[in-house]
Every structure is written in C-alpha cells, then in structure tokens.
Chain A
Amino acid sequence: MHELGVVFYVIKEAEEAAKANNVKHISRITLEVGEVSTIVKHYFEECFTWAKEKNEYTKGCDLNYITIKAFSYCNNCNQTFETVKNGKTCPHCASTDTYLYIGNDVSIKSIETEEES
C-alpha cells in the first residue's frame, strides 16, 4: 500500500549517496528490509521497477532485496526471541515487557557502480 512511498525514499537516498561518492550511475542497490517493516516484497519490487526508470542515477539498476529477521528483547529475563513467531510475549518467561530491537527498518546497505577501466 505504501510501498511506492518507500521506493521514492530509497531512490532519493541512493541518488544522494551516488552524488556524495561521485558516482554517475548506480548499477545495483542492496537493500535490507526488516521482516516487520510492513513492506510487501513483490509490491515493493514492482514499484521499484517502475520508479527507477524515472531517475537518471537508478535507470536500469538491479535491486538486491535482503530480508532481515525481526527479534525482540525481554526486559524481564534478558533474553531475545523471534518477533514474528511470538508477538509481544516472551517465549522464555511469558512476560509482555518486551521490545522490538531489530526488524522494522529499511536501510540501504550499499550501492554498486560499473566503472570503465
């Protein structure tokens, strides 16, 4: 639903990274997407396929989409657990005093460029 909005953010940040590194064209973007970031992968890829062509830096570039597993931390027993399987409740001690510490972010890991040599 909001995948296109996120795609625009990715392209904008990639373009800025390219400019900062004197890159004229990006050939591949490696993106790390948290499992509970609420991004639907195939919508995201379709939006990306359309939107990348509108930007001179990302035209024709590949997308390397990596899903990052979500983990939560339990304040009661100080252990971690898989968020998607268990929700807010710690499987070790049944406490609900837990928080998500990884898995809801979307970040650009790297950009690649092909250089003539």
Chain B
Amino acid sequence: MSNIKVIEIKKSVFGSNANQGNEIRLENKRKKTLFVNLMASPGAGKTTMLTSLVNSLKDEYKIAIIEADCSSSVDAIKISDNTGVTSIQINNDGQCHTDSFMTKKALDLLADQHYDLIILENIGNLVCPAEFDTGASKNIMILSVPEGDDKPLKYPLMFTVTDLVIISKMDTIDYFEEFNLNRCIDNIHSRNPISKIIPISAKTGMGMDSLINYFKEEIHKWRNE
C-alpha cells in the first residue's frame, strides 16, 4: 500500500529570481551604480543606439556593457571596438531571456572597479525578457519605426514594465506611412500611463540630446536619492 502525502508550498516560481534581483538592486544602490536593462526586438537598433549613447557619456561617467545573446560574442566585440568601454558577453545557451542569476555572474566579473552606469543589452525578444527580473533599476525598451505602432497592443507586458520607451529609426518614418507617432504614444500610454517616451534617430542624431539628458538625470537621481 502506498499513501499520498500532499505538501503545500504556495511559492511563486519567480520568487528566488526576484529575491536575487532585489539583492542586486541593493548592492548597486550601495555602490552608486545605475544598472539598466535594455530590451527590444532583434534588429531594433539596440547596438547602434548604445554605441552612440555610450560615446556621448563615456568622458563623464564610467560605463560598462553586458551583452546577452543566445550565442556568439559579435555584439560585445562591436561595442568594445566602437566605444572603448568594457563590455562582457553572456551567452545563455539558447534561452530566451536573461535572469538575475545570469546578470549576477556578469556583475561579479565587473566588481573590481566602480561603474556609474552598467547597461544590460538583453536578448532581442519582446516577450520573455519582460517576464524575468534582471536586478536592473530601470527598464528601457526600444521600439523601431519599421516594427509598427501597434506593438504595445501586441506585447502588453513589455510596455507595462518599462520606465522609458525609445522610438528608434525616426529617420525612416516617411517610408512607413502606417506608422503614426501620436497613435504609437497613445498605445504605449494605454499600457503604462507614466512611461516616458523619447523618439530618436541614432543615424541623424535626432532626439539623442534628450536621451543623453535622461541618462544623466537618472544616474544623478540613483546616486543621490
């Protein structure tokens, strides 16, 4: 005879990851390091935008980049070559997201120096990265014009967790008649009324000043509050 024993657990499966995420935020608060999670679809222009942003901030702030990709280190090499800042690659073996346990390992590799700003370039994907806490203090996503203004309706969770949405590739807006900037902003705010929105073109430089100021303000807020 066998009998069945039921053990009540009542535990969120993301609980251990969220705890690890909170530990990372506390540690970065102590170190005065702003840790930002950057998310977008593949090809939205994350690496191009980052290169331009980092080049404008690197004289004033100590910056490091964590590149997460399913495999290869092409992005880490590209960022390093084009900006000269430290970048490390984490490959997550085919998984669709980066979680706090993976970012902890990467942050430990950067622990020997002080950084004002560390940016995680997350896996290109609009679904999974939004689900997993990375320990970042700010969540930012890039939506590029060619992707369409209806993305906030199709991928609601992503737009609910973001503090800032960067609308990229604004130089192509004349070629994408279906893309309506006002409608895009309304769609983003329908998911998250307090999300900030900055339209940019890394190619022409449009909006880059606003973006640079946003980062400067956030770095100072994180240090001083």
**CB under 8 Å from chain B, chain A span 1-40:** 1-2, 4-6, 9-10, 12-14, 17, 21, 23, 27, 36-38
* Contact call B127/A1, Cβ cutoff below 8 A: yes
* Contact call A114/B2, Cβ cutoff below 8 A: yes
Stretch from B7-15, B106-114, B135-143 contacting the other chain: B7-15
Alpha-carbon distance A18/B8, docked complex (angstroms): 11
Q: Does B95 contact A (CB under 8 A)?
A: yes
* Contact call A2/B127, Cβ cutoff below 8 A: yes
* Contact call A9/B9, Cβ cutoff below 8 A: no
* Contact call B97/A5, Cβ cutoff below 8 A: yes
- Majority-rule SS of A interface residues: mixed
Q: Does A108 contact B (CB under 8 A)?
A: yes
The A-B contact count (CB < 8 A) is 92
Alpha-carbon distance A2/B2, docked complex (angstroms): 37
* Contact call B4/A105, Cβ cutoff below 8 A: no
* Contact call B96/A1, Cβ cutoff below 8 A: yes
Alpha-carbon distance A37/B7, docked complex (angstroms): 24
* Contact call B96/A117, Cβ cutoff below 8 A: no
* Contact call A115/B5, Cβ cutoff below 8 A: yes
Partner of B9, one of A37, A110, A115, A116: A110
Partner of B11, one of A5, A17, A115: A17
Partner of A112, one of B1, B6, B13: B6
Alpha-carbon distance A96/B5, docked complex (angstroms): 46
For B10, list chain A residues within 8 Å (CB). Answer: 107-110
For B11, list chain A residues within 8 Å (CB). Answer: 13, 17, 107-108
For A17, list chain B residues within 8 Å (CB). Answer: 7, 9, 11
Q: Does B26 contact A (CB under 8 A)?
A: no
Knowing A2-B97, A13-B11, the reply to whether A38 touches B2 (Cβ < 8 A) is no
Partner of B157, one of A12, A38, A96, A97: A38
* Contact call A111/B128, Cβ cutoff below 8 A: no
Top 6 A-B residue pairs of the complex, sorted by shortest distance between their CB atoms: A2-B128, A9-B13, A114-B2, A107-B12, A108-B9, A2-B96
Q: List 28 A-B contacts (CB under 8 A).
A: A1-B128, A2-B131, A5-B96, A5-B97, A6-B131, A9-B13, A9-B14, A13-B13, A14-B9, A17-B9, A17-B11, A27-B4, A37-B131, A38-B131, A87-B190, A88-B190, A106-B12, A108-B11, A109-B9, A109-B10, A110-B6, A111-B9, A112-B5, A114-B2, A115-B3, A115-B4, A117-B2, A117-B3
- Residues of chain A touching chain B, judged by Cβ–Cβ distance below 8 Å, are 1-2, 4-6, 9-10, 12-14, 17, 21, 23, 27, 36-38, 87-88, 96-97, 104-117
- Residues of chain B touching chain A, judged by Cβ–Cβ distance below 8 Å, are 1-17, 95-97, 125, 127-128, 131-132, 157, 190-191, 193
